[in-house]
Structure 1
Amino acid sequence: MARAVRFDRYGDVDVLNVVEVPDPVPGPGQVVVEVVAAAINPGEAKIRAGLLHDYFPATFPSGQGSDFAGRVAAVGPGVGGLDPGAEVIGFTDERASQATHVVVPFEQLTPKPAALSWEEAGSLYVAGTTAFATVRAVSAGPGDVVAVSGAAGGVGSIAVQLLRERGATVIAIAGPANHDRLRGYGATPVAYGDGLAERLPHLDAFIDTHGDGYVELAVRLGVAPERIDTIADFAAVEKYHVRSDGNGAAGTIDVVAALADLVAAGTLQIPIVAVYPLDLVRDAYRDLEHGHTPGKIVLRP
């Protein structure tokens, strides 16, 4: 039988269990993938804790996870061009990737370039498409000076690199421990905390991946609301009429494929900070929920 992460009530990491589930069977147009790597994401922790019940309620028993990379195990009727064993990157909308196997429509898969590690490939969907959406939302380009809050995190570090790829000057707001890595991405790091406004140059745009007042700061600094995007402060979206483009605005397999090509070419790095076996999913989420995670945490079923 297959195995998958499940929880049957809201709570802390102790509600998570890895249980046996029936082997998935592909229907018409579907593919079963044997998962090799599946990233974990902050939004999943918030859903499990019940913090997003009004927006993304869980139906119990609930699975977890959207990102994955793996090998094709079986294909359903009407699926061509995918043979068993083919290496793919994909996503599921069914909160089901943190498992040994997942079944998805074939349109949600793209070939995994050989140059990508499994961990990188399994981390592309949520963080990568979210970062892509934020960069697109603020219309960043050559000559723009763009600040990114939470710049060392999974989404922030990708956004920094995509901004640089577009020719923007990037001000990366992060703790000093991450400044050298951010300089390596071509950004100018600035420490968060008291006096931040005085340390920032004139800004043309602002990407907020952290929340906690950064949208208000950007408005106060004179950044136009239409060039501010937040994925973390939805109250500020209503108050200041800024943008809130994230995964939902760019979560397509074409974007995943484009990001995979950038990683394969060496243009984009996906920082992997920890890898856990599926059975240690509780430990993986404890690690994530400590905060200030400088990159992606991945499960290896």
Structure 2
Amino acid sequence: MELRSLEYFLAVAEELSFTRAAAKCRISQPTISASIQALERELGEPLFDRLPRGISLSPGGEVLVPHARQCLAAAAVITSEFSARAGLVSGELRLGTVSGIERTFVPDLLGTFHQKFPGVDVMLTEATSAPLLDRVIRGGLDAAIIARPLSALPPTISTATLLRDQLLAVFDPAAVALPPGPVALDELQGHPIISYAPDSGLRAVLDDAFTRAGLLLHVAYVANDVRLQLAMAAQRVGVAVCAGSDPSLSDALGLSVRTIAPTIGFEKILVWRNDSTPRAPLRAFLALWTRMRTQSEKRDD
């Protein structure tokens, strides 16, 4: 059994599509199909159920997934360890992030990481919090920056805080009549809300704030891009509720930016798995994160 066969198998298992898996692995679809068929012959049972519309993991495929991940992770650790012994950190670092981190220390961190470890290819994926966390848990990403979920994280996940922030209300004061000062939740309820999609970690925070206040939240306009939220607020369609640290707020000309009462706070955190030995690129990234986070906190003080 070859490691590459397991790599192709996991790609198909994650994508549930031979075509998308082939594109992900940069090979042809017939090649990946032949590899899966050979692996099925070797193991003596099908790994996927071929359905009229798509595929799904078979019981045998479900059993193989964790073992395949362990094998590939072990091989990656071996490669990284011996590269590190030779004084060269190389390989691939797969990172995910939510939006709105442009003005944190993370861009400087990535630039410094590239200078110190030019042999590491960084694959950066932007998405919302829930799918990023799922990919870290499943091993598809080495680490990700997400909004801390309301529910407890699995014990296999470690965290480091990037920032603490709050949601703000943004609106055209000529179109939305709100009294001076912080905007109360019941006052927000009387206007069309422009905010994040249901799969966003910040939408969950907003939903929870309304629920705890005994209020019903109705988001009339959904957009994860804060620039689009602000553009709609400028068109007087409603009140945008967005992260206070988002750099787009610096361009909110002519709009009123208010805090919300009670404060709707949240954290953005880095998450990674702690149930296996991290590869050398991730260890190097985490060490650099800790150092630059400390430097950033000292500058803020």
Same fold? TM cut 0.5 = no
TM-score, normalisation: structure 1: 0.26
TM-score, normalisation: structure 2: 0.26
Richer in helix (by share)? 2
Highest CA radius of gyration, 1 or 2? 2
